[in-house]
Amino acid sequence: MGTMATLIVENLSKSYKKRLVVDNVSLKLSSGEIVGLLGPNGAGKTTIFYIVLGIIPSDNGRVLIDRDDISLFPLHMRAQRGIGYLPQEASIFRRLNVFENLMAVLQVRRELSRKERKSRANDLMEEFQITHLRYNLGLSLSGGERRRVEIARALAANPKFILLDEPFAGVDPISVMDIRKIIKHLCDRGIGILITDHNVRETLNVCNRACIVNRGELIAYGSPVDVMLDAHVKQVYLGEGFYL
């Protein structure tokens, strides 16, 4: 991806029934950077994620891509502006084969001719080593294969940023290594990645910077090592004996 892009989250706040679940949170994600969004259960991570995606509105604050305010854009318009999303649960179209899964997303890209869409689908299958699964239905794939198809499909929309929700959840050690490689590959492609996951060690091992949220507030923001050594983070989240 040639041009650098920046996703900016500025002073986000959100309340549910007078309970403040996100309290004035700001963060930034640039092309080719991996940022981890971490914190205890109920800290507000998922709410921040959903506000950035456009699934739920914020009460205050803004979401920008470069200098463009996209705070009022619905989910599909944010996708057009370059925000991709990989949910934790299976999102593959189960009754379509792998090629059709990719084409379903590529259809939306009106700037491409039919021939270009097919060629892009073939390139993505090759890139993610799923060409041999071309005619296999979504429902017949293993967990690792399905994840690769879902990531290839997210890339078919040509995103500048991808938000990964719990990519390491319920995954065996071999698949964890595979997912780490894929995340690194996306980063090398110049895509900015925001990860939220309960698997703290895996997330800190893969990200450049981490944001720790507790009770809706951003309590630490920095390199994985800085965050790990932060006294407040140890107290409320990681504990004393945590190491990478």
pLDDT along the chain (244 residues), means of 10: 84 92 95 95 90 94 95 91 89 95 92 95 95 96 89 93 89 83 93 93 94 94 94 90 81
Residue 22's CB: how many other CB atoms inside 10 A? 27
Handedness of CA 87, 93, 97, 99 (dihedral sign): negative
Contacts of 162 (CB under 8 A, 6+ apart): 84, 85, 86, 154, 186, 191, 192, 193, 194
Distance linking the first and last C-alpha atoms of the chain: 31
Give residue-wise pLDDT tens across range 163-173. Answer: 999 888 877 78
Q: In what order do the strands lie in the sheet with 83-86?
A: 83-86, 161-165, 192-196, 34-38, 209-214, 217-222
User: For residue 71, what pLDDT is reported?
Assistant: 94
List the structure tokens of 180: 């780490």
User: For residue 2, what pLDDT is reported?
Assistant: 55
Continuous segment of H or E residues that includes residue 209: strand 209-214
User: For residue 27, what pLDDT is reported?
Assistant: 95
Which amino acid is located at 91 in the chain? S
Give residue-wise pLDDT tens across range 11-36. Answer: 999 999 889 999 999 999 999 999 99
User: For residue 218, what pLDDT is reported?
Assistant: 95
User: For residue 158, what pLDDT is reported?
Assistant: 92
- Of residues 147, 90, 157, 92, the one with CA closest to residue 121: 157
The bridge status of strand 34-38 relative to strand 192-196 is parallel
User: For residue 189, what pLDDT is reported?
Assistant: 92
How far apart are the C-alpha atoms of 126 and 71, rounded to whole Å?
Answer: 36
Question: Looking at residue 87, what DSSP letter applies?
Answer: -
- Of residues 172, 227, 235, 220, the one with CA closest to residue 205: 227
Which amino acid is located at 211 in the chain? C
Asked whether 178 and 202 are in contact (CB, 8 A), the reply is: no
